[in-house]
Structure 1
Amino acid sequence: MASNTHMPDPVCLIENTKEQLVVNPEALKILSAINQPLVVVAIVGLYRTGKSYLMNKLAGKKKGFSLGSTVQSHTKGIWMWCVPHPEKPNHTLVLLDTEGLGDVEKGDNQNDSWIFALAILLSSTFVYNSMGTINQQAMDQLHYVTELTDKIRAKSSRDANEVEDSTNFVSFFPDFVWTLRDFSLDLEADGQAISADEYMENSLKLKKGTSQKDKDFNLPRLCIRKFFPKKKCFVFDRPTHRKKLGQLETLHDDELDSEFVQQAKVFCSYIFNSSKVKTLPGGINVNGPRLENLVLTYVNAISSGDLPCMENAVLALAQIENSAAVEKAIAHYDQQMGQKLQLPTETLQELLDLHRDSEKEAIEVFMKSSFKDVDHLFQKELAAQLEKKQDEFSKQNMKASSDRCSALLKDIFDPLEKDIKQGIYSKPGGYHLFIQKMRELKKKYHQEPGKGLQSEEILQTYLASMEAVTDTILQTDQTLTEKEKEIEEQRVKAETSEAAKKMLEEMQKKNQQMMEQKEKSHQEHVKQLTEKIEKERAQVMAEQERALTLKLQEQARLLQEGFHQESAQLRKEIENLQNNMNRRKICVLS
C-alpha cells in the first residue's frame, strides 16, 4: 500500500552519466507502487551550498542525501526520497535533490540546464539554494531560468517564430522558493525592517535602460517574475563554525547556531503546510505511476534530442491511463454482474436492469480514472465493450434458459414418450387420454420456476416435434368420427398459431426493450461526460483566473516601475488569455 511506502534512504532517480541522462528502474519501481497524491519538492543550486542538508531536514532525518564535506560535488543527477507527508494524511512527500550546478569537473554545463529544467517539470515546489545575498552574481548563476523557453515547450504545436506565452508556463510551473544560505546582512531597506520576501521582491526589480548590460540584468528577473506563480524567500545564518560544517550530519541542534535552527524549522513548516500536490493542467493530481511516466517521457525526449513538451507528456500519460481506465471499468462491470446476476433471469428486463446499474458504475469508474480523452476515443471504446458485454450476457442468459428448459422437458415428458412407444395411446379413446396427459405435463412444466426467457420457445419447439405423433394417435383412434378428427386438427392448428403469434409479440417486445436500453446507455454516457467536462472546464477556468490575476499584478508592478514596453508586451498576453477565457464561456453558453 502507498501509505506503507518505506524508503530508509534516497535512491538515484535520474543518473547523469558523461554521455546522457539515464532513468534508474529501481526508483521507477518505487514510484509505481505509490497511489497517493504526491507533493514534490526539488532543490537546485550551485554545488557545495548545503542543498542536501535542507532536504534531509524535510525528510526528518540527519542522514540521507549525501552532504559531502569536500569541494567535490557529491550528488550526480537527481536523487529521490519518498516519505510519508508529515502534515497531509494519505499524501507522500517526494524530495528531489539535484547535483550541484556549475561543477568545474563536468566542463560542460549542458547537463546542468537539463537537470534544472527537469527539476522544474517534476516538482510542485522548486527550491533554489544559493550562498550569501541576492546580488548580480547570484542572478548570473540563475541564468538557467532564462534558458527554460529553449529547453521546455508547453504546447506541441507552435509556429517556429512564435514566442512561448508565459501563460503556458505559469499553468504548470511550480512554486518558487529562494533559500539564501550564510546570509549576513540585516534585512532593512531605507532604514526600515523588511521581510525576506520583500528583500527578494526588491532584488527582482528591473533596471531602466536599453543597453545589453541592462537587458542582461533584467532578463533573469523578468523570467522569475513571469514564470513562477508563487514566490517565497528564506534567509539562513551560517549553521555553525566553518570548521564544523563537515560534521553537520552528526551535530545536534544545540550544537548549531540557534538562529539557524529556528530558520530551518520555519522553512520546513512552510514546505510542509504550503507546498501543493503536483498537478497537471486541468487540476489532475499526480501520483507515483503518473510521476514515473512523466520522468520517462521527459528523459526519453531529452535523450532523443527533442525538447520535453508538457502537452505531449500529458497526452502520452493520458493514453496509458485511459487505456487502463477502460480495463478497470470493464473489470468493475464484470465483478458487479458476476455478483448479482443469476442465470437464467425470468425476464429480459431483469437482465437489462442489472446491466444498466453495473454499466453506470463502470462509467463512473472510467470517468474518475481517465483524463484528456481526446475526441472521447477511450469512452467510445468503453461503450463498445459494454455493449458487447451486454450481448454476451444476453446470449449466456438465452443458453442457460434453453439448457434449463430442455433438461426440464426431458425430465417431464420422457415417461410420456415411453408410454407412446409402448402403444399405451394406440387404442380406442387413446387420443383423449393423450391430450389430457399432455395438458397435465404442460401445466407441470409451466409451474416449474427458473426457466428464463426461452421457456415458451423451447416448449413450442418440443410440441412441434410431437405433431406427427399427435396426428398418428388422432387418426388411429377409432372412437372418433371423421368430423371430430377434423375439428380436433383445426383446434391444434389454432393453438399452434396462437402460440406463434404470442412468440412474435414477445420477440418484438424484447427488441423494443433492447433499443430502449441502447438509448439509456447512450444517455448515461452523455450525462456523465457532460458532468466531467463541466468540472474540468471549471478547473481550467480557475487556473486561467489565477494566471490572469498574477499577470495583472505583474503588469501593475511594471507600470509602477516605469517599464512601459515590458508592460505592453504583458498586456498582449493578458488580452490573449482573456480572449481564450471568453471563448470558453461562449462555448459553454452555446
Structure 2
Amino acid sequence: EVPCLDNAVVVLANLENQTALHANYNNKNMVVSGFALGNTIESKTKGIWMWCVPHPNKEGHTLVLLDTEGLGDVAKGDSKNDGWIFCLAVLLSSTLLQYPLTCHILTENIKIRSTEVADEEEEEDSKFVQFFPSFTWVVRDFTLELVIEGKRVTEDEYLEFALQLKKGVSKKVSDYNLPRQCIRNYFPSPRKCFVFPSPASPENMTRLESLQERDLVPDFLEVTGRFCDHIFHNSVVKTVKGGHRVTGKLLGHLVEIYVDTINSGKVPCLDNAVVALANLENQTAVQEAFKAYQIGMEKVKNKFPVGVDDISSEHQKFSSLATSEFMKRSFKDEKREYLKKLMANMYYVGLLQENEMASEKKCRDLLKNLFSDMNKRLQDGEYSQSGGYELYCRDRDTIVEQYRREPNKGVSAEAVLNEFLNERGPEANSILYTDTKLTENDRKIQEEKEKNALLKQKYKEEEEKRIESERIMQAEKERQEDQMRQMQEKFNKELEQQQQEMDRAIESKLKEREEMLKKGFSEKADLLNEEIANLKKEKESSGGLMKEYVMPILGAVAEILPTVFNYKVLNKALTNI
C-alpha cells in the first residue's frame, strides 16, 4: 500500500533491458538501491516491478514507478504475455513512457464498457483518449541530428514527424500506420518526446548502475534533467474513469481487479473495474464515516441525560463530520446505496430513546429520594390526623419545587413528574376524605383544585414534548441542509472531473482533426468530426445528472424526518403490544 492520499503513477515500458534512464532516475530521486538491471538481452525482472518514492515536488504525493523491463525477452517467447503486461501498465498509469512505438495491441485487450455490441465497441474505441495516460516517447542512444528536410526541429516535433501517417492501402502501409494511428487515437495531445544520447563511453555501458554522475556524458545529464523536471511537474495524479483520485490502497485493488480479470481469460473493462473499486471504497467510506460519528456520540452518551439542544447539536456536528468523511472517499454511489447505509448506521432515533430513558431513570430516582422523608411521615400516620391534608399538600408542593430546581434532569422532567403525581393521586384523595377538619364543601373545593393542578402538570408535559419535537425537527432540518450542501459540492466536483476528461478528449481530437486535414486525410478528419460531436453531446447531457443524482438524495435523507418526529409514539406503541 502506498501510504499517502494522492499518487502520480509513471510507467516505463521498455523493450530492451539495458537503460541508463534507470541509473539516472536513481540519481534524481536520491535512491540508493533499486531493482537489478541486466546488461544483456536477458531480462533481470519479469512482469511489472513497482518502486514507490516520495514525490520530490508535491507534498502528500507518492511517485509510483512501474517498469515492464521484462518485455521482449526472447527466452520467454510469449508475445501475448508481453501484450497483457503492457496493457496492464497502461491501465495503471497516469503517464506512459514508451519505447518503441507499439500500442496497437491496446484495442484488443482493453474495454471501456461491459458490452459485446459491435457498434458500441467501435464507438468506445474512440473514447480511450479520455482515460488513457499522457504519452512520452523516449528515444535512447540517439546519434543523429534533429533535422527534418534541412530544418532543425524540437524533440516534440520529431515525435509528431515520426507519428505521421502514410497514404495508401497496401499491407506495408497499413502495418506502418497501425501503431502510429493507435498512438494518435488513444493518447491525448500534447505528447512529449525526449531524445537521449548514449549515457556513457562504450567501456562504461556495462556498469551504469555503479557510475557516479561525473562519469556520465554531459549531454545525457542535460536531457535527463529536463526529462525528470517534466515528469515531476506534469505527471498528474492517477484517476479512474470519472475522475476519482487513486490512493495507494486503491491502486492495490486496481491491480488485483485487472490481474484477476486477465487470469480468468476476460478482457479488462474500465467500467467494471470502477464499479468494483467503488464498491470496495464506498464500503470503507461508510465504515470510516460511521466510526467518526460513533466516537463523537459516545462522548455524548457518557453525559446522558442531556437536554434536547445538547444532543441535537452534537448529532448535527458529528453527522456533518461523518458526511464529510464519507464524501472524501466515496464515489459513484449513484443509487445512494452507501449513503443510506451510513444514515441507517447513524442511530439518532436510538440515541434520543436512550437519552429519554436515562432522563426518566434520573428523574424517578430523584423523586424517590426527595419523597423518602414524606413517605416515612405517611407511614407514621402524620397525615391521617385532623389537618393532615393541608400538611400533606404543603410537603408535596415543597418537594415538587425542590425537584424543579434540580438541574440536568434531561428531556423527561415534566413527563416523569406528571406520571409520579398521578400515581400518588389516590393517596392524596384518601387523606383528603379522612381529614376530619374539612367540611364536605372544603373537600369539593380541594378536589377541584387537585384536578386543576394535575391538568396544569399535564399541559407542562405536553409543552415539554412540543418544544422537544420542534427542536429535534429544526436540528434535523439544519443537518439535512448541511448534508445537501456537501452532496452538491460532491456532485459539482465529480461533474467537473468528468467534464475535464471530456474537454481533454475533445481538445485532443480537434488537434488530430486539424493535422489530418493538413495532411490530406479527409476521411479520417470526417470520422474525427463525428467523434467530437458525440463527445460534445455527451458533455452537455452530463449536466442533466442533477435531477437523477442529487434530487433523489434529498428524498432519501428526508425519509428520516417522520421517524425522528414519531419516535416516542412508536416506542410507546411497541411497549404496549
TM-score (norm 2): 0.89
- Indicate the larger mover: 178-187 or 254-263: 254-263
Q: What is the Cα deviation at residue 166 of structure 1? A: 4.3
Is the aligned partner of 1:478 residue 2:420?
Answer: no
Q: Which residue of 2 aligns with 1:218?
A: 177
Residues 353, 254 of structure 1: alpha-carbon distance in 2 compared, 3 angstrom cutoff: closer
Q: What is the Cα deviation at residue 506 of structure 1? A: 3.5
Q: What is the CA–CA distance in structure 1 between the aligned matches of 2:130 and 2:27, rounded to whole Å?
A: 29
Q: Is the 8 A contact 1:175 1:228 kept in 2?
A: yes
Q: What is the Cα deviation at residue 58 of structure 1? A: 5.0
* 1:484-519 Cα distance to aligned partner (Å, 9 max, x none): 122212221222233223323433444454455554
Amino acid paired to 1:173: F
Q: Is the 8 A contact 2:198 2:220 kept in 1?
A: yes
Q: Which residue of 2 aligns with 1:357?
A: 317
Which residue of 508, 531, 534 maps to 1:576? 534
Q: What is the CA–CA distance in structure 2 between the aligned matches of 1:222 and 1:260, rounded to whole Å?
A: 30
Is the aligned partner of 1:204 residue 2:174?
Answer: no
1:283-432 equivalent positions in 2, closer than 5 A: 283-339=243-299, 343-344=303-304, 347-386=307-346, 389-432=347-390
Q: What is the Cα deviation at residue 316 of structure 1? A: 1.2
SS in structure 2 of the partner of residue 237 of structure 1: coil
Q: Is the 8 A contact 2:510 2:532 kept in 1?
A: yes
Q: Which residue of 2 aligns with 1:13?
A: none
Q: What is the Cα deviation at residue 54 of structure 1? A: 5.2
Q: Is the 8 A contact 2:18 2:39 kept in 1?
A: no
* Structure 2: gaps (5+ residues): 549-577
Q: Which residue of 2 aligns with 1:47?
A: 16
Which residue of 170, 182, 187 maps to 1:228? 187
Q: What is the CA–CA distance in structure 1 between the aligned matches of 2:547 and 2:363, rounded to whole Å?
A: 56
Q: What is the CA–CA distance in structure 2 between the aligned matches of 1:420 and 1:321, rounded to whole Å?
A: 66
1:428-577 equivalent positions in 2, closer than 5 A: 428-577=386-535
Residues 577, 85 of structure 1: alpha-carbon distance in 2 compared, 3 angstrom cutoff: same
Q: Is the 8 A contact 2:4 2:61 kept in 1?
A: no
Residues 473, 326 of structure 1: alpha-carbon distance in 2 compared, 3 angstrom cutoff: same
Residues 423, 539 of structure 1: alpha-carbon distance in 2 compared, 3 angstrom cutoff: same
Q: What is the CA–CA distance in structure 2 between the aligned matches of 1:401 and 1:543, rounded to whole Å?
A: 55
Is the aligned partner of 1:91 residue 2:50?
Answer: no
* 1:193-212 Cα distance to aligned partner (Å, 9 max, x none): 11111111111100011122
Amino acid paired to 1:563: F
* 1:59-93 Cα distance to aligned partner (Å, 9 max, x none): 43464121112331111111111111112222111
Q: What is the CA–CA distance in structure 2 between the aligned matches of 1:207 and 1:58, rounded to whole Å?
A: 39
Q: What is the Cα deviation at residue 544 of structure 1? A: 1.1
Q: Which residue of 1 aligns with 2:87?
A: 117
Which residue of 233, 236, 241 maps to 1:273? 233
Q: Is the 8 A contact 2:47 2:71 kept in 1?
A: no
- Indicate the larger mover: 375-384 or 60-69: 60-69
Residues 527, 256 of structure 1: alpha-carbon distance in 2 compared, 3 angstrom cutoff: closer
Q: Which residue of 1 aligns with 2:136?
A: 177
SS in structure 1 of the partner of residue 371 of structure 2: helix
Q: What is the Cα deviation at residue 370 of structure 1? A: 1.2
SS in structure 2 of the partner of residue 279 of structure 1: coil
Q: Which residue of 1 aligns with 2:6?
A: 37
- Indicate the larger mover: 347-356 or 401-410: 347-356
Q: Which residue of 1 aligns with 2:568?
A: none
Q: What is the CA–CA distance in structure 1 between the aligned matches of 2:547 and 2:377, rounded to whole Å?
A: 77
Q: What is the CA–CA distance in structure 2 between the aligned matches of 1:440 and 1:585, rounded to whole Å?
A: 67
Amino acid paired to 2:44: H
Q: Is the 8 A contact 2:18 2:38 kept in 1?
A: no
Q: Which residue of 1 aligns with 2:152?
A: 193
Is the aligned partner of 1:146 residue 2:76?
Answer: no
Q: What is the Cα deviation at residue 415 of structure 1? A: 0.7
Q: Which residue of 2 aligns with 1:25?
A: none
Q: What is the CA–CA distance in structure 2 between the aligned matches of 1:481 and 1:526, rounded to whole Å?
A: 67
* 1:519-572 Cα distance to aligned partner (Å, 9 max, x none): 444444333222221222122222211211110110010011011121122111
Residues 251, 527 of structure 1: alpha-carbon distance in 2 compared, 3 angstrom cutoff: closer
SS in structure 1 of the partner of residue 336 of structure 2: helix
Q: What is the CA–CA distance in structure 2 between the aligned matches of 1:527 and 1:258, rounded to whole Å?
A: 56
Q: Is the 8 A contact 1:283 1:539 kept in 2?
A: yes
Residues 194, 329 of structure 1: alpha-carbon distance in 2 compared, 3 angstrom cutoff: same
Amino acid paired to 1:83: V
Residues 90, 515 of structure 1: alpha-carbon distance in 2 compared, 3 angstrom cutoff: closer
Name the % identity. Answer: 38
SS in structure 1 of the partner of residue 64 of structure 2: strand
SS in structure 1 of the partner of residue 104 of structure 2: helix
Q: What is the CA–CA distance in structure 2 between the aligned matches of 1:263 and 1:538, rounded to whole Å?
A: 36
Q: What is the CA–CA distance in structure 2 between the aligned matches of 1:254 and 1:349, rounded to whole Å?
A: 71
Amino acid paired to 2:313: D
* Structure 1: gaps (5+ residues): 1-29, 131-138
Q: What is the CA–CA distance in structure 1 between the aligned matches of 2:178 and 2:459, rounded to whole Å?
A: 85
Q: What is the CA–CA distance in structure 2 between the aligned matches of 1:154 and 1:503, rounded to whole Å?
A: 63
Amino acid paired to 2:163: L
Which residue of 70, 73, 84 maps to 1:100? 70
Residues 436, 63 of structure 1: alpha-carbon distance in 2 compared, 3 angstrom cutoff: closer
TM-score (norm 1): 0.87
Q: What is the CA–CA distance in structure 2 between the aligned matches of 1:394 and 1:532, rounded to whole Å?
A: 30
* 1:15-61 Cα distance to aligned partner (Å, 9 max, x none): xxxxxxxxxxxxxxx43xx1231111111121334164355345434
Amino acid paired to 1:200: L
Q: What is the CA–CA distance in structure 2 between the aligned matches of 1:61 and 1:515, rounded to whole Å?
A: 59
Residues 552, 166 of structure 1: alpha-carbon distance in 2 compared, 3 angstrom cutoff: farther
Amino acid paired to 1:358: F
Q: What is the Cα deviation at residue 281 of structure 1? A: 3.0
Q: Is the 8 A contact 2:11 2:95 kept in 1?
A: yes
Amino acid paired to 1:533: F
Q: What is the CA–CA distance in structure 1 between the aligned matches of 2:534 and 2:322, rounded to whole Å?
A: 39
Q: What is the Cα deviation at residue 183 of structure 1? A: 0.8
How large is the RMSD of aligned CA atoms in angstroms? 2.2
Q: What is the CA–CA distance in structure 2 between the aligned matches of 1:39 and 1:310, rounded to whole Å?
A: 19
